[in-house]
Structure 1
């Protein structure tokens, strides 16, 4: 059993000013005529303990209700685990500051409207199931951590993919240039055969050209390396200068406990600075090497110019062909270097994709584990509530969040997306869609969706910067509640308000080891259900968690064997406790008999019939 109970509720100020009620571990029934403050009592408990409503709308209404009733007063709720009491106090202006005890499950509080409507929303049904699962919030925390990492990698992948595409565009002419060089070299060879001298000088010029290209490649490689090193060194210098401020030690009698650490840190900082200075000397040496290479390149270039001039004199027109050959060779060398950078970028992309895939697998495992727990809860509830109620799950069935991510991604793109959002969400899983986007698989997208190639190209382009959001989007589970009318199963949305309550209340009461607070659960349901099902659920829950209900129906406190019954009354300006105590007290019996339906004779008949 959950050791925690709401032991006492005290209200000062507002409509229920002066109300103080001590509650028991079992069933506590709050009775009274309409307008005496029963619902207000429930909402003040919710407000004091900062228990959120089950929808944003109900949460807003509950907050407004509590503040209106409390006015400038305050409410105090005492929680107890049997050994220690925990006090929570809140007024209409204060924010909730305290946390519930770590080993305590938050109370489940339902207004009358929430009981009637919670099952209509997918999120409401899911919340009812998740409340059965211990530490369910840990799954969300794991999700958020993994999603943050995946999004970071996806952003890096997007940048690297753009970089790789740029490189591919730049090296596109390489094939044509290679072909052009082959043709020019044929012409160059013909000219060189005219004269042995011309041939020798042309060969020498060709060697110089190759030497020039190699030397130029070395310089570009070293300059690229130096630029990266310069960024790295600047980052290191900036970070080493960000020495954290040491808070002032206010205890003058004792030595600052971090003095030794500060000394070590300063020594460490000096060591790093010294190492950086040494490295910068090596860095300067590299710059000198680059300058030496450039000087050598100038010598090669000058010598090449001289040779070219000589060859031109020997063979009119040969110089132009030779120059064209050299220019093409230089272009090819530069593009080959870009090809090297492209290969490195593609390797980085593969490594990041591998890392991201691992994180996505972990994310899917977390979600799958949570879905399996939900499945077990659904099977348990179907078994416990048979043959009238069936609870089932469709795993990863909700597409609303996926569609919203796609819609947000298309906004501002100029694409008509209303139809394509639904088609993509229903036909392509998020992970498959990202593979299509990053692989630029236009034909695959056309095959899945039946759209034109041109539209597929535009869609892939629009989604490229949103892969992180797409690949981590949650396809939430769908929980289904069904009620048997004796002949067929009916979905919850087909049911009347009373039938919905008939279905929802037993599920709520199956929550064990937690405090349940329910406002008027009997509204819209008949006495047969109250006696056959609701009372049975309440009695089955005895010793497994505290229940606090407000009610107009005598069957609930009488047949449910309430341990505490409190009758609220009102003088029009203020609600107050008129009677409180156990069922065997004469004034409690009178309160039930006089206020609740059926009167004293009905109470005696119930008591005799059920042996109370």
Structure 2
């Protein structure tokens, strides 16, 4: 993993040079090998009152590439209670160590060792002056604290000026070294807040081995520091003690989802919008699992880089590449997905991507913001209860919708049955017009044969469909291992079905087909006899077909009527048994659960403790406007046939008339018709609706349609955002953008990529608040920014930084990857704010004083 990452450090370690080392025969190689085997990546050599320059240089040589060795020294202070307080100086691994050691041993009380022949454990250094010298030489200072021996905690409050002395010491030193893990809680709750309030310093607390024999190397607990394994990396904990230091058996867990490596591999000489493509050729880019910043001048390709990642992960979703294309030397469009690999394309990446100015869209589009909040809410729904309730609600909504359609279907069926009965009655009159027994006998014979034939034919169709459906089902199930009861039972049932399908006798099927043919012949013979009878009676040729076919038509109509009445009975039974209250209950349960979850995440936003930003809160609402539009669209779909046949023109007046009574206020059909009739419009749409709702079933279907949509919180949930107690849309645009960015960063754990998040945000707000949001959020989610704002990069404590620059010769983008603590790129990072001179000029002009 590149950039600043968690490494195991030990900032208090003694070598054989210390007067009280317990194994003088230990070699430097053994020290390095032991520490490396224990996973230590950085060690500070802190021998008592001495710096063994030669040994430290040798240890650095032996540990090169495996173990960073920081020079240090442990002092005994003249400030004391019963015992002298111990404090430690640590210096840069590349410092002029001979010079530093010379300054310390000649300009502190250490000079007594050579000048007065004092032993190393008999020299006590004056705390303030020695620390001043250490700082002058570029070092940092740790002091024993907590329950550790020789701790400054031994200065009790009972001693005159004891508390004041502690506060003075806290002002001087940089780091507290605690003796036991249990000390950390007390320090976090009491000491550190007091130090912060009295000195203005946020003090890091660490724990170290204080080892005097590497052969028995152990620690009370591991010290993890997130930094490059350098002295400059160590200095970062002075600025970010909460996020750069951790004490525990294992380091903090990185965000679960992340982009680790992106490989761009585009053909050489490809073009983008008629210009050489800045990322042609091969380029590999690593990302921190926490916070990565992409910086560089305008036109260096920052946005292009992020959009390439988005297009790869969400093909066709990226607006940037929707119209702009990368083309090869042959003029053909290059497929981005083939030229960009993300973590070897091994897994499906779920990311959030916000292009330039997209935060503005969230600030202006409540629907987009609602969906973003809801997706985060689902991620926090550990037991899946919201999704379960939403699924139940959707199922009930579907049943409600189907029953709405049933109402219109019943109306249609009843009309069909009425029409079929009239047709049957007409043909029955024809049949009844002949009273001859012979005619009645022949006519009845035709009807009977036709009915038997119809039933026979329907049975055949049912048989064939059943066989086809069962065969397709068996094929869809496929073959599965029978390792458990359910699979075994499935296999048994499938086997029995297959057996049943093959048991149908081919001979019996042929016999049934012959019977079907015989019935066809019987109908033909009986119909011919009937026609002959009618002809003999002098029926004209014009009437012969009507009369001779009447019996067959009557039989067919009776069959159709029976089928439709059967369907009517079934549908009426379904409506009768349908529980409308179940949908109401599902809607209420879903809404209430949603409100609880929203209240929970709202509390996170409401409890923002920062003067630069007002409390943000979330509230669940119902999007009535969207629901009404859906009701109108559903109405047009449900009555499409009738609407197409009507004479009205345009949806505007139709919608106005339909909502003469708001959907949520509908009571009954009579009230609706009165409202429609009293409307001042004289349009065809008015007459259409009056005519439509004159049929009770049509109004009932519309009423059901309204009820269903008004209970659909799944489709029409609306999460309102409030800023300082007011709807966010009544706040300033900058406040809206602030609220949006805070919500998007604090809620959710998928990687989030934002192109220039600073748009519409003032620098003071970023520096005083948003960087804190960023530092908190990056502990649980990966964040990638392309930015020009130094506050995000430096004060946001980016773990990894990619600096983009144009190569004027090739036109390609060059990328230099670095960290905040890398001294080689410090000037470049400072240039984000105009360079070092700009800082000095502002300091002089504004007369800043610490």
Q: One fold, TM greater than 0.5?
A: yes
Whether the 8 Å contact between 1:44 and 1:66 is mirrored in structure 2 is no
The aligned runs of 1:69-468 (5 Å cut-off) are: 72=334, 75-78=339-342, 86-88=343-345, 100-101=347-348, 106-132=350-376, 133-134=378-379, 161-169=411-419, 225-226=455-456, 228-229=458-459, 231-233=461-463, 235=465, 269-274=501-506, 277=509, 280=512, 344-353=566-575, 357=578, 371-372=591-592, 374-386=594-606, 387-395=614-622, 397=624, 398-399=626-627, 400-407=629-636, 412-413=644-645, 414-416=647-649, 417-422=651-656, 424=658, 427=661, 443=670, 445-446=672-673, 455-458=689-692
Whether the 8 Å contact between 1:554 and 1:597 is mirrored in structure 2 is no
Whether the 8 Å contact between 1:402 and 1:425 is mirrored in structure 2 is no
| 1:61 counterpart (320, 329, 334) | 320
Query: How has the CA–CA distance of structure 1 residues 223 and 351 changed in structure 2, closer, same or farther, with 3 Å as cutoff?
Result: farther
139-148 vs 11-20, greater mean Cα deviation: 139-148
Shift of 1:353: 3.5
Whether the 8 Å contact between 1:76 and 1:87 is mirrored in structure 2 is no
Return the alpha-carbon distance in structure 1 between the equivalents of residues 411 and 354 of structure 2. 51
Q: Deviations over 1:305-358 (max 9, x none)?
A: 9xxxxxxxxxxxxxxxxxxxxxxxxxx999999987775343122134468x47
Shift of 1:122: 3.8
Select the structure of larger CA radius of gyration.
2
- 1:537 matched to 2:773: yes
Shift of 1:584: 1.1
Whether the 8 Å contact between 2:623 and 2:718 is mirrored in structure 1 is no
Shift of 1:283: 6.9
The aligned runs of 1:21-32 (5 Å cut-off) are: 21-32=285-296
Provide the residue aligned with 1:479 in structure 2: 718
- 1:587 matched to 2:844: no
Shift of 1:143: 8.4
Q: Aligned with 1:6: secondary structure?
A: coil
Whether the 8 Å contact between 1:16 and 1:69 is mirrored in structure 2 is no
Provide the residue aligned with 1:43 in structure 2: 307
Query: How has the CA–CA distance of structure 1 residues 543 and 280 changed in structure 2, closer, same or farther, with 3 Å as cutoff?
Result: same
TM-score normalised over the length of structure 2:
0.47
Whether the 8 Å contact between 1:442 and 1:453 is mirrored in structure 2 is no
Q: Aligned with 2:759: secondary structure?
A: coil
Shift of 1:582: 1.7
Return the alpha-carbon distance in structure 1 between the equivalents of residues 472 and 779 of structure 2. 59
Gaps of 5+ in 2: 1-253, 267-276, 426-434, 477-492, 538-553, 607-613, 680-685
- 1:575 matched to 2:813: yes
Q: Deviations over 1:526-577 (max 9, x none)?
A: 1222133311211221320111111111111221111112211113522221
Provide the aligned C-alpha RMSD in A: 5.8
Gaps of 5+ in 1: 54-58, 79-85, 89-97, 176-204, 247-260, 306-331
Q: Aligned with 1:112: secondary structure?
A: coil
| 1:6 counterpart (255, 259, 274) | 259
Return the alpha-carbon distance in structure 2 between the equivalents of residues 223 and 448 of structure 1. 54
Query: How has the CA–CA distance of structure 1 residues 243 and 548 changed in structure 2, closer, same or farther, with 3 Å as cutoff?
Result: closer
Shift of 1:120: 2.0
Shift of 1:43: 0.7
Return the alpha-carbon distance in structure 2 between the equivalents of residues 506 and 69 of structure 1. 41
Aligned residues: 495
Q: Aligned with 2:288: secondary structure?
A: coil
Return the alpha-carbon distance in structure 2 between the equivalents of residues 557 and 403 of structure 1. 50
Provide the residue aligned with 1:315 in structure 2: none
Shift of 1:35: 1.3
Higher helix share: 1
Return the alpha-carbon distance in structure 2 between the equivalents of residues 381 and 245 of structure 1. 48
Q: Aligned with 2:630: secondary structure?
A: helix
